[in-house]
A and B are shown apart, each in its own frame.
Chain A
Amino acid sequence: MMVLRTLNQGPRHGYAIARRIHDWSKGDLEIEDGSLYPALNRMLHKGWVEAEWGVTENNRRARYYRLTAAGKKQLETESSAFNKMVRAIQLVMRTS
């Protein structure tokens, strides 16, 4: 979901996605950068993202990922489900 969220603002390459997640979590989430790629592969399979080779600002070849319509829909359902769950948890935490 986080990957999809990063792509919601426009196409990015894998390194940028990794940096973005890293920054958002302020280093709280200790994820290996490599584990991003199997996830991307899976999303390619499901048709949530599309990939295209391009060149970065530093003149390196990289693959840019773009959210598809199906990916946007998936992001919406996932984030609403997540929000619901978070709200539920907060409710429980507050009442106790």
Chain B
Amino acid sequence: MFWRNLLYRDRMDREWHEELESHVQMLTDSLLAQGLTPREARSAALRQAGNLTARREEIYRMNGIQWLDSISGDVRYALRGLRNQPSFTVIAVLTLALGIGANTAVFSVVNSVLLKPLSLPRAEEVVDLAQVAPGAGGVISTRGLGLSTSMYFTYAEQNRSFQSVGVWTFRPVTVTGLAEPEQVFANIVSDGLLQSLAVQPEIGRPFTAADQRPDANGTVLLSHGYWQRRFAGDRSVIGRAILVDAVPREVVGVMPAGFRIADKPADLILPMQLDRRRAILAGFSLNSIARLKPGVSIKQANADIARLLPIWVRSWPDTPGGDTSASGFAEQLFLHSWRIGPDIRPLRESVVGNVRSVLWVVMGTLAIVMLIACANVANLLLVRVDARQSELAVRAALGAGWPRVVRQLLVESLLLGAAGGVLGLVIAYGGLRVLVRNGPSNLPRLSEIGLDSRALAFAAIVSLVSALFFGLIPALRYTRPSVSLSLRDNARTMSHGRDRHRARNTLVVVQVSLALVLLICSGLMIRTFQAMRSVHPGFERPDAVQTFRLVVPPTLVPGDEQVTRMEQAIVEKLAAIPGVTSVGFASGLPMDSAAPNWDGILKEGQSYAQGSRPPMRLYLNVSPGLFGSLGTRIKAGRDLTWTDIYGGRRVVMVSENLARELWGSAQAAVGQRVRANDIDVWREVVGVVEDVRHLGSQEPAPAVVYWPVFGRLHYAPVTLATRAVACTVRTDRAGTAALLNEIRQAVWSVNAALPVANPETMREAVDRSMARTSFTLVMLGIAGAMALLLGLIGIYGVTAYAVSQRTREIGIRVALGARPADVRQMFVRYGLGLCAMGLTMGMVAAAVLTRLMRSLLFGVTPMDPTTFAVVPLTLLVATLAACYLPARRVSAVDPVKCMRAQ
């Protein structure tokens, strides 16, 4: 009944009208019958009936909901008003849409990366068993200290806090026997790992404890993607054998789509098949994932591991098969010198890692942009409300209470907010598509990013809150009932009162100061970027170096010298490719983020106290010619030669900083002897190379010992080859498909079972190491540019408005003899005054806020004087332009015309 009434209200109104009319007619009829004239009868009938129109309105109102009715009136009125001023509407909606869009996009990223739990069953129980070792120096990576095999056994068997404990690692493996030999990434997992993640295979079975025994037959799990790609989703793949590193492995299952361990997607999963008899204390290279027992806190789990550490150190030998009685030394080293301790954290946190600070900085800056956008729209609305003073005054005079007028104004801003929100969602959607496609590949959980219900709610809330914010400022400012003043004011008999401008001026000052903060932040990032680009990484022209990876599995080529001769043959084939100037290879390349190998080095002639350990150095195995192809200069001595390598000569090279540290200078190092430990043989330093920033442009160059790719191990009397190598090919054709093809042919001409993997130029590796900085830079740059633009529009708008409102005053001034230049100056001074206030406030705010981004900076301090001088100056000049443009219009004011017009 109710809704029907509302919907058919107009028809019902017509019916009532008809009924009332017929009532009057019948009354008239009866009066006519009493002998009155038709005119007398009609007027008597109307008198008797009373005010029928009022009755009709009463009924009409009864059939509606009053507030809904008047709101819809407000909406219609606001829509008409907005349509009538398209330029205002477009600017306001676009400003809001940009702000809301950018904020929603970044919120989606923050939400997907930082807030949403991992898509695992009871994800809150899954933890990374990370450890800290503050005394271990370079051994620890950003993830902390890994687990050793023996730690895994101790923790998995003796803990009281976990349902399951597993360790995992990853490496490239070669798959042969399907099509072309292919190199893919494999996750290698121990027992307990898949249990901790609690993910079941899509088809087939998971690994069992039997699969994990060292003598078990080879098994493998496929990823969903690999199964689709190589087997076209054929379910009969279970039970088939594939050759992984030339070892036959039976496919036992396929993992579901989207499965990955931490943030390392892989095509294959292999069982780790750890051998308890060969486990020793050291070798802290395994990642771990465990599942807490229900109700156990991370603190309790930490205490549990801390309890197990002394047990571990006493239960395992230092060398394979060694005895555990001499554990005093190990205890001293690991527990007292390295100070190993547990640092368990939720798996989500260790996946997200150091992106957290970047994302929050970006989110914060975009919130500031949103504030500026709101201030801008509020300013536009102020101008608009100002122009509507007389209209509002007339409405107030006609009896509209001020809540009614405020409501009208708020409805208008809410409409703007809603329009901005909808358009903003479109922008956010587009922005996210671009981000997911081009975003830094090291942004974790990139593929999970998308607009979800939370992001939609966020956009809605931002639209609403900002609409209230920028709507209330003009609404509160201008609806105080001052009818007479407004009407009089509008007659333009006087200049505007000072307090009229105060709200607008405050907004502009705030805008300028916020814009300055953002610009200083982006300025600091630009300086960081510059500093990183200008760092000499220790190699030359990275875009002319093509790199790729190669692994020679023992099952393919058993003999170690054979492997090295094969690698040498490949190098020679590569060097014969037209345009190639030099070729080399090494166990790891600068900035390739491969798991590095660290150990100490002892120099001859220095005695080391029992139990103390020398500092950790980066160990790399390099081929002759590597430094030449990288463009790394040899500072003293000579490069390694193949004669050194095959002749079994015990030689090494060291980095310049290590040479300085141990012997005082690069020259002094040549001819000196070092060894890795007490059981190692002495090795002669034949050359010193310049420092290379192996860990990335922002990290200082580590001290490096370069070992030959083939030679006697430092911890056992065996001679081994380097089977997993990264090759470097210097040529101007680097990065082209043609070159890559020729490289492939060259490699296959030596051995057709070797895949060429991970081809990229050194430039790409460098860019990747700077991805975080460039991502932050781009985001801050966008935010800064938006802030600058919005701030300038704000200043321009306010000055232009001031000019237009004071045309009369200008006319009088000019008529009284003021030169246009003077008047112009007056307005420019006005704008600059506002700007100066904004700049002062902004400088103070920036000085405080830039401290928060210290961890993102490199080579500049948060209070970098250049940035703090250049940015405000630039902003000042831009403001000058924004003030000068509207002020120029002053000269166009013709005093006679303008006086007459008013």
Contact = CB atoms under 8 A, between A and B. Distances in A.
Interface of A: 13-15, 18-19, 32-35, 37-38, 41-42, 45, 47, 56, 58, 60-63
Given A41-B63, A42-B62, A60 B25 contact: yes
Interface in B24-81: 25-27, 29-30, 48-52, 54-56, 58-59, 62-63
Interface footprint category on B: 20 to 34
A15 B22 contact: yes
B323 interface: no
A17 to B, nearest CB: 10
Contact of B1 (A38, A45, A62): A45
Nearest to A58: B29
Interface string B819-832: 00000000000000
Given A15-B27, A45-B1, A35 B22 contact: no
A30 to B, nearest CB: 10
Interface in B614-666: none
Nearest to A22: B48
12 contacts: A14-B19, A32-B51, A34-B52, A37-B59, A38-B58, A38-B59, A41-B62, A42-B62, A60-B25, A60-B29, A61-B18, A62-B22
A34 B22 contact: no
B23 interface: yes
A15 B59 CA distance: 17
* B contact face: mostly helix, strand, loop, or mixed: helix
Contacts of A32: 48-51
Contacts of B50: 32-35
Tell me which of B1, B5, B59 has the highest count of chain A C-beta atoms within 10 A of its own C-beta.
B59
A47 to B, nearest CB: 8
Given A32-B51, A33-B48, A34-B51, 12 more contacts: A34-B20, A34-B49, A34-B50, A34-B55, A35-B50, A37-B16, A37-B20, A41-B59, A41-B63, A45-B2, A60-B26, A62-B22
A32 B52 CA distance: 10
Nearest to B2: A45
B26 A35 contact: no
B452 interface: no
The interface residues of chain A, by DSSP majority, are classed as helix
Contacts of A62: 19, 22-23, 26
The 6 closest A-B pairs by CB, nearest first: A32-B50, A34-B50, A15-B26, A34-B55, A33-B49, A41-B59
Contact of A58 (B26, B48, B58): B26
B604 interface: no
B124 interface: no
Contacts of B391: none
Contacts of B1: 45, 47
B22 A61 contact: yes
A60 B27 CA distance: 12
B742 interface: no
Contacts of B2: 45
Interface in B434-456: none
Interface string B1-21: 110010000000001101110
Nearest to B56: A37
A47 B207 CA distance: 73
Contacts of A60: 22, 25-26, 29
A58 B55 CA distance: 25
A28 to B, nearest CB: 16
Contacts of A38: 55, 58-59, 62
Nearest to A56: B26
Contacts of B20: 34, 37
Contacts of B54: 34
Nearest to B60: A41
A45 B1 CA distance: 7
A35 B51 CA distance: 9
Contacts of B22: 13, 15, 60-62
Contacts of B63: 41
A71 to B, nearest CB: 15
Contacts of A42: 62
Contacts of B27: 15, 33
Contacts of A63: 15, 19
Nearest to B55: A34
Nearest to A47: B1
Contacts of A37: 16, 19-20, 23, 55-56, 59
A35 B55 CA distance: 7
A6 to B, nearest CB: 15
Contacts of B18: 61
B134 to A, nearest CB: 79
B41 to A, nearest CB: 14
Nearest to A63: B19
Nearest to B47: A32
A15 B23 contact: yes
A66 B137 CA distance: 97
> Of residues A18, A34, A47, A60, which shows the largest number of chain B Cβ atoms within 10 Å of its Cβ?
A34
B543 to A, nearest CB: 81
Contacts of A13: 22
A15 B26 CA distance: 7
Nearest to B12: A41
Contact of A18 (B23, B52, B55): B23
